[in-house]
Amino acid sequence: MLPAFSFVTASDIRFGRGEAARSVPDLAKMGDRILLVTGAEAARADWLAEALAARGVALERFSVPGEPDLARIEAGVAVAREFGTQAVIAIGGGAALDGGKAIAALAPAPRPAMDHLEVVGKGLPLEVPPLPFAALPTTAGTGTEVTRNAVISVPEARRKVSLRDRAMLPDLAIVDPALTDSCPRGVTLAAGLDAVTQVIEPYLCTRANPMTDALCRPAILNGMAALKLLMEGAPEAQQAAQDRMSWVALCGGLALANAGLGVIHGLAGPLGGLSGAAHGAICGALLPHGLALNAARSEDAQTLSRIEELRGWIGQVLGCDAPASFMRLADWSRGCGLLGLDALGISGEHREKAAEAAASSSSMKANPALLTAPEMLEMMAQAR
């Protein structure tokens, strides 16, 4: 018998080259006064600001130049309220999208942000619906354009935690691979490894279901192949590979929002909060070693079967035998320029605290094996 499951996502998902420009009329209808949230390179959103202004929309801009912390979100909420914002549009990488999503959720909220944050706050549900929200990713990585949470750093607690509510699912997600074409190579690699991780972990996790399996199973091989092309392929193959990578990132967002993740994200959140290192790079560094640890510690027959599938798919793309595939992935990623944990500024103290903090991480709750802190410390030592 098939297991019972539910599946929720953004109200409207649009995928394909040119969709961003084609969707401007609908974006303009979201409100007369729109807050446009951008990433570090705000000028990349000039075309959208100009197109919305030409349709009579009053715009206020707000930048989220890096992974958002609580102070940045609170500043954005203040701007949104003062402007009388009717809707929020975010364009950029995962950080900008998380920032926009959080601002849209908290601008109408009567309670302070800490009342709604997981782990370090009260984790209360939203009492008032968020402002209408649209997301346009410019990297192929996090899939946050279709998730129900926003990741926020709380420096005082040295943690990255989620603001999470089903009401936060975006009203409009526009995945236009053309927006990712100008990404630097290092960003493409880290984001791509994050995207691959986010179709692998939901496939292995204890809450996998037929819908998420249908998304993840083909996306794992597709994502690895696309990422290899982006790193090594001829220039004429890059655009098609970017399209495939954007699709994989979307699949990952859909899957993690409806199944779960595992030890890689369970450690990546605390490590990022403690060190300030980029999330995608941490996931990429941890991925092969997290897979190897779960392979050694899992006892469930279905999980072990799926791990063997993974070995075969990764080996097929990287040209090695299945048993060697996880370590070949580690070597290949480093060869493409991915930094290890030491080079990312993650110290032994950070790793020790992350191993302790992982027990309270929402991502760890669906990991297919029960892991101890010493095992996770050894795993992180191998990712140095």
Residue type (1 letter), 133? F
- pLDDT attached to residue 190: 97
Cα Rg for the chain, rounded, in angstroms? Answer: 20
Among 329, 140, 371, residue whose Cα is nearest residue 246: 140
Scan for tokens 């993690």, then name that residue.
256
**pTM of the predicted model over 0.85:** yes
Average pLDDT for 52-80: 97
3-state DSSP call for residue 92? Answer: strand
Contact by Cβ (8 Å): 338, 285: yes
Q: Has residue 362 got a pLDDT over 90?
A: no
pLDDT band per the 50, 70, 90 thresholds, residue 104 = very high
The span from the CA of 338 to the CA of 335, in Å, is: 7
- pLDDT attached to residue 234: 87
- pLDDT attached to residue 148: 96
Write out the two tokens for 247. 């699709």
* pLDDT digits 0-9 by tens, 15-54: 999 999 999 999 999 999 999 999 998 999 999 999 999 9
Among 287, 289, 269, 288, residue whose Cα is nearest residue 279: 269
The span from the CA of 32 to the CA of 59, in Å, is: 8
- pLDDT attached to residue 370: 94
* pLDDT digits 0-9 by tens, 153-189: 999 988 889 999 999 999 999 999 999 998 999 999 9
Contact by Cβ (8 Å): 215, 271: no
* pLDDT digits 0-9 by tens, 242-275: 999 999 999 999 999 999 999 999 999 999 999 9
